[in-house]
A and B are shown apart, each in its own frame.
Chain A
Amino acid sequence: MEVLILSRLQFAAATFFHFLFVPLTLGLSILVAIMETKWVRSGDEQYKRMAKFWGKLFIINFALGVVTGITLEFQFGTNWSRYSAYVGDIFGSLLAIEATLAFFLESTFIAVWIFGWDRISPKLHCVAIWLVAGAGTLSAYWIIAANAWMQHPVGYVMRNGRAELADFFEVITQRFAVIEFVHTVSGAYILAGFFVMGISAYHLLKKREISFFTRSFRIALVFALVFSLFEVVQGHFNGGEVATAQPSKLAAMESHWKTQKMAPMYLLQIPRLSGEGNLIEWIPIPGALSILAYGDPNAVVKGLSDFKPEDRPPVFITFVAFRVMVGLGMLFVLLTVWGFLIRKKLVENPKYLRIMLLAIPLPYIANEAGWMVAEVGRQPWIVWGLMRTSDAVSPVDPTQVAVSLIAFVLFYGLLGVVAFWLMARFAKKGPAPQPAQG
């Protein structure tokens, strides 16, 4: 029991921390690649300076994404050995393929990019950053296909007391994986867009390097606008997928208790912290939940009361995290549309710029909240319907896990402070001065 709780906390800490860095890696690599491509195409030196400046922040962030990723792979073996033995045939192979196909590419070519400015041609150098960006997104696909399999296992047979692969193609192309991937990656791209806009806003407010930061802002704005709009529409389909594949998760996301047709949503709803039901349910919109989940007001939405208590996910966390994610997603649309309308006169809108500066942390929160919905909402299952989290944990000594958990929290906390301090420092400092001509 203790090992279970400690291991869950440790996994949560390691995953959350890892995902503080991953989305920026995924998105910023693309933005830097776009900037460098513009430089190679136009020869305009300012684009090169942009690639270098944003690239520097990218590298600081990238390092932590890489090193904290190893923890996640190792933890399946150290802390979740029963899970590893049970599903390694499928889950392990996805991780191994991810490393061979994508990690090598990403880690090798990031070095080419960092150290190769004067050693290879600009075109080849530009190819290197596109390879990094492509490999990052590719690796996201494999890891999310693995996670999707935990959410919605397909293409397996139960044999030799474990889940064995039956249809590899189905595992890697199932709808759930594709939808989860698109949703996650879009969220990451939004984060990178807001990151670049926020830092650009800081400098524009100080009236420094106006053309440099206006250009940066606009590239990021278009990027974030497209993916914010896309995310809202796509998120709806994601919800539909969850409704069919994981009805108890959907019920927890909405704190929906009573199985019924015309299932309502409420303008104000607060679930009880413990125990069943909601504390407050004000102003119902009849049928709204049925429509959102199944596109039909008369569809029956199963409520939590019809799941055995031991089969329900923690409702409060799932419910709140879901609302945080959706609310922020809407806000991102608002902010990027607003930005698009005033894109020609950013400097004259300090109020907007200040908001965008303050908005930097918001996509981080939204990304983490999204994972909370996905992972907490999946409980009590580690593999949906197949294996409970409580059956997955390693038979190790709780003291060991307690020590490593404390070490992780302290150590990651410190590293996080250092990384964000360093990023803030270089972000504030701004780009290197324009090199002298000739």
Chain B
Amino acid sequence: MLETIWFALWGVLWAVYFMLDGFDLGAGALLPFVAKNEQEKRYVYHSMGPFWDGNEVWLITAGGVTFAAFPTAYAVMFSSLYSALMLILFCLIIRGVALEYRSKVEGHGWREGWDMLLFISSALPALLFGVAFANIFQGIPIDAQGIYRGTLFTLLNPYGLLGGLLFLCLFLYHGALWLGIKTGGELEQRARRFAKVLWVPLLILAVVFLVATWFATNLYQNYLTYPVLWILPALAVAGLLATRLFLQQGAAWKSWFASSAVVVGATLFGVAGLYPNLLPSSIDPAASLTITNASSSPLTLKIMLGVALVMVPVVIAYQVWVYHIFRHEVTPEDLAYEDGY
């Protein structure tokens, strides 16, 4: 029971991370395309300014919870995905530094350089997270000793790449909507146009992914056994349709919330299908890491659950408050801010 609760929380943590940092990664990856001049670029940076750091902590927590609740899965997952994770790490480091340092120095070369780095370090993790999760859904070649029997290229299989493209497109879309909320004028219009254009490939990728999942993974098994789970993919699909509708109506926030539902629904769709596996083995089903053979002791799970039940609502409360005080459109006065981006 405890293990199941933690499995659900584990999925939710990842989903929340993707929902929040997804728009940062998307906006960063869109930078070279939506921002036409220095001022617009700084608007893009400012749109993430007060949020990205707090968003990234959801990743640290998701990682920490994987470590704490399912240490064996953490160990095998992270060492198996070694190179992919290292790339993500480097990107996240570069992204954080680009955000903080870019506008601290005048100078064309300096700023152009960081802009390029922000683009790469936002786009690549979006892609890699998708590749990693698609591979987890599908299973990776681990043996009974928990040793990975593949290479980096094993992960770059068609289904993995499809997952990567889906995540990238989803985050780009999510980020474009965020820019639409946080900026005004031409930049806002351009961001909206990007969102409208991106929605089409997003829809196609989502449909292809749902179909490919039938053939490439065992995720649907749970859905056949517990039909109530269909609510998760339904949430994603409904969100996908609603977000486009709201976008058409010019309802920026609603559109963004609907797109958040897509991110959360898509992540949980995969996670619910995995259950009770955390990391299926593609070469030996008995070597799969499950909530039973990879979890921590009941005592640890209980203590952590206590901490989570008390602290996570508190965290959500103050993060919502921060989003509330910085919900406004970025203004020229914000750019004049000496410590700003």
Contact = CB atoms under 8 A, between A and B. Distances in A.
Interface string B314-327: 01001100100110
Given A71-B93, A85-B71, A104-B57, A78 B326 contact: no
A16 to B, nearest CB: 15
B79 A79 contact: yes
B104 A84 contact: no
A9 interface: no
A334 interface: no
B183 to A, nearest CB: 16
Contact of B319 (A84, A103, A104, A432): A104
A290 to B, nearest CB: 41
Nearest to B311: A100
A148 to B, nearest CB: 17
Interface string A14-51: 00000000000000000000000000000000000000
Contacts of B229: none
Contacts of A396: 79, 82, 148
A60 B104 contact: yes
B303 A168 contact: yes
Interface majority SS on A: helix, strand, loop or mixed? helix
Contacts of B133: none
A100 B312 contact: yes
Contacts of B334: 115
Contact of A395 (B79, B307, B337): B79
B75 A84 contact: yes
Given A66-B96, A92-B67, A111-B51, A103 B60 contact: yes
Interface stretch (B155-163, B201-209, B262-270, B292-300): B292-300
Given A104-B319, A400-B83, A63 B60 contact: no
B101 A95 contact: no
B119 to A, nearest CB: 17
B42 to A, nearest CB: 13
A424 interface: no
Interface of A: 52, 55-56, 59-60, 63-64, 66-71, 73-74, 76-79, 81-85, 87-101, 103-105, 107-112, 114-117, 119-120, 159-160, 162, 164-166, 168, 394-397, 400-401, 403-404, 407, 411, 415, 418-419, 422, 425-426, 432
Interface of B: 49-51, 53-54, 56-57, 59-61, 63-72, 74-79, 81-83, 85-86, 89-90, 92-93, 96-97, 99-101, 104-105, 145-148, 151-152, 296-297, 299-300, 303-304, 307-308, 311-312, 315, 318-319, 322, 325-326, 334, 337-340
14 contacts: A78-B78, A85-B146, A89-B297, A93-B303, A94-B68, A96-B69, A103-B57, A112-B322, A160-B297, A395-B148, A411-B93, A422-B104, A422-B105, A426-B104
Cβ-closest 4 pairs across A and B:
A88-B71, A77-B78, A92-B67, A96-B64
